[in-house]
Structure 1
């Protein structure tokens, strides 16, 4: 069964799962790369690690149709927005990738929070 074939998932949930998984991946990459940039990147690393954890958990909760996924969706969106804002301040490719990808995740999480 493909992820898109989950019986409880509509197109919006499928998109949010994909966006959360992409956000988790880019944030793991960014946090790891920022670790090589020095102390000045500490906030970026913290936010990226938070998003990676929250987004991957949110994707898992949606996949199993947890009753808690809508509550987590709002928190995940908040974290994505904060991280995107922080990453946008840095010129590194990994930070710019986060700043580009995370708003899309935040938007789809806000849609899930409204369900």
Structure 2
């Protein structure tokens, strides 16, 4: 079963929340990959690696909070959006494909999380 199908079976999750969960999980995955690639590139990538790890943890936590309809989801949405924006800015400074892809995914995640702040 695809992730979107699984999420759609959670009765309290509307389309906007479902999209945000998927965006957060995609952000967590791409950030884990980007951090791993940055670790292999040596000097000058420490900030990118650190921010990617922050986003991976924050985004996966936010997805879990949304799935269980936590009372703290809106606050975590703000934290996640901010982390995504900062990381996307850092990644966009690097020419590597993994950083560029990461920046693109994080911009979508940040936008999705910002919309969840008022939900």
TM class by smaller structure: over 0.9
SS at match of 1:36: helix
How does 1:32-111 map onto structure 2 within 5 Å? 32-111=36-115
TM-score with structure 1 setting the length: 0.97
Segments of structure 2 that go 5 or more residues without pairing to the other structure are none
Q: Post-superposition shift, 1:99?
A: 0.9
RMSD over aligned Cα atoms: 0.9
CA distance in 1, matches of 2:99, 2:8: 29
Number of equivalent positions: 115
Residue segments in structure 1 that go unaligned for 5+ positions in a row: none
Runs of 4+ with deviation above 2 angstroms: none
Q: TM-score of the superposition, structure 2-length normalised?
A: 0.94
